[in-house]
Amino acid sequence: MLDKLVVEHPSKFGGAEKKRDKKGHIIQIAEIARRFCSSALTKKIPEISEITNEHELLTAMTRMLSENEGLRDKMSEQATRIGYLEELATSDELTGVLNRRGFQAELKRVLARAQRNLEQGILVYIDLDEFKLVNDSFGHAAGDEVLRKVAAVLNDMTRDMDVVGRLGGDEFAIILINTSQENGLERAETLNAALNATSLTWEGQRLAIQASFGMQSYQSGDDAEALLNSADEAMYKTNQRN
């Protein structure tokens, strides 16, 4: 492109004026490049006034583009860090599933999609029975291992499209997405039976996992907070019966 910047050599007459025009033309192009690069840079590039030929123009533009590329790399690194921090903000560090904040955000997204596509599904609320006894008898490290085991079982027995979260303490929840009420309740019962048949060994002691399940179907138009409360109440009633 630079070979097109100069279309004729100075003639015997008007040579000085054409040189000035040429210099002005080069500075204009350099200034356009400077502004283009500066628009993406936090540090402004100095005004360009000392470029007198194509070589200096090419050198200046190369420098500006190099600085711009360096900024892009920094922005990419920053985006990666932000993504990591966002994941930390929505994930449960102990179990790796969504935390309450992340789960509620996903529930709202699922309900919004259900509103658009007239979908339905099941929200499952899970509370671990006698979990405090595990912590008191075997220590919090044993309790942490129980929580990891529960999360692993729930992840293994749900589809990639379903959502698993730990709402806090010993409470978990699952969204069985795009599932009929009949099929969803059947899957929830299967989860219930599997989790309550699970155990792990801690320092030679067998720790049986016991959990109460509450289930609430959802459909287009349901509210996230009301849905969680209904599933929680259903779980509480199950817990009372047990």
| Integer CA distances (angstroms), 75 to 2, 39, 61, 62, 109, in order | 30, 14, 21, 20, 28
In total, the chain counts a number of residues equal to: 242
The 10 Å Cβ neighbour count of residue 149 is 17
Tell me if residue 170 is catalytic. Answer: yes
2 vs 149: CA distance, rounded Å: 66
> For residue 177, what are its two tokens?
């997405």
Residue 110 corresponds to which amino acid? V
Q: Which of 92, 162, 170, 232 is catalytic?
A: 170
Eight-class DSSP state of 3: G
Q: Which long-range contacts (CB under 8 A, 24 or more apart) does 67-71 make?
A: 67/37, 67/41, 68/37, 68/40, 68/41, 71/40, 71/41, 71/42
The 10 Å Cβ neighbour count of residue 228 is 19
Which helix H or strand E contains 121, and what residues bound it?
strand 121-128
229 vs 169: CA distance, rounded Å: 17
The set of catalytic residues is 170
